[in-house]
Structure 1
Amino acid sequence: MEFIDFLRQMDRVCKNSDHCQNCPLKQFPCNDDIASIARNVDDQTLREMEDVVKEWNKKHPAKTRKEVFLQEFPNAFLQDDTISICPKCLDKDYKPNGGCASTGCGGCRFDYWSKEVWE
């Protein structure tokens, strides 16, 4: 697992663990602080933490905006397996990176609808 993926997935574990109460990493000295992990945990423990995070994420896959939207609107029109609705029609504050002209509609919609959402 790449370091960035590990951090993002560990963050998902933390955000979904009710302030460490139900955290599968509770046995490890993480204290919801990546700096304390780097200072206080040996390599073997880090590998064990990584395994726990991987397993948790397999059981609790991240949902995307697309998946959540399709739960409510299962017959929404898809184009190239992406919801064909322009994000700006639903989110007045949405601004694609580089503006609409730089990404094109397909790229913009893909970026928006594939974004992970937190429950």
Structure 2
Amino acid sequence: MDAVKFLEERKRMFKNGNPVPGLGIDINYNSEKVVKIVEEWSAAHPRKTRQDLFLEQWPTALMDPIAEDGLLYACPTLFSSEYRDKNGCCAKPNRPCAECRREFWMQEVE
């Protein structure tokens, strides 16, 4: 686990109310043990995205046949007013659809 991922996962542990290994100003903590605790917690509590929750309800939803990472084919304009203009059309017509879909469906949820 690289340093950035470690700190992000440790922060996620804290946000979820789990006991977080302290780093503080004491330099005598066991680094390997702290990393191991965070890695184990992270593996046991994978991040969930909007897409994960959607697919739990509709596992046979249409996936983008071109996207290699298994992205839902559903346009965010169907689900979020942030992606629609005042006429109900795409608010960002010059942006590639796959970018908006990835941004929307890969958002982490609680």
Q: TM-score range by the shorter chain?
A: 0.7 to 0.9
The answer to whether structure 1 residue 67 and structure 2 residue 45 are counterparts is no
Letter in 2 for 1:58: A
> Equivalent residue for 2:107?
115
Letter in 2 for 1:46: S
* Inter-partner Cα distance in structure 2 for 1:76 and 1:69: 9
The answer to whether structure 1 residue 105 and structure 2 residue 100 are counterparts is no
* Inter-partner Cα distance in structure 1 for 2:98 and 2:74: 10
Structure 2 stretches of 5 or more lacking a match?
Answer: 85-91
* Inter-partner Cα distance in structure 1 for 2:37 and 2:106: 25
**Aligned pair in 2 of structure 1 residues 47, 41: CA closer, same or farther (>3 Å)?**
farther
Letter in 1 for 2:104: Y
Structure 1 stretches of 5 or more lacking a match?
Answer: 31-36
Q: Percent identity?
A: 28
Letter in 1 for 2:108: E
Using structure 1 for the length normalisation, give the TM-score: 0.68
Residue 85 of structure 1: which of 64, 67, 74 is its match? 74
The answer to whether structure 1 residue 6 and structure 2 residue 10 are counterparts is no
- Counting matched residue pairs gives 99
**Aligned pair in 2 of structure 1 residues 66, 49: CA closer, same or farther (>3 Å)?**
same
Flag the structure with higher helix content.
Answer: 1
Q: What is the deviation of 1:57? A: 0.6
Q: What is the deviation of 1:44? A: 4.8
The CA RMSD over aligned residues, in Å, is 2.3
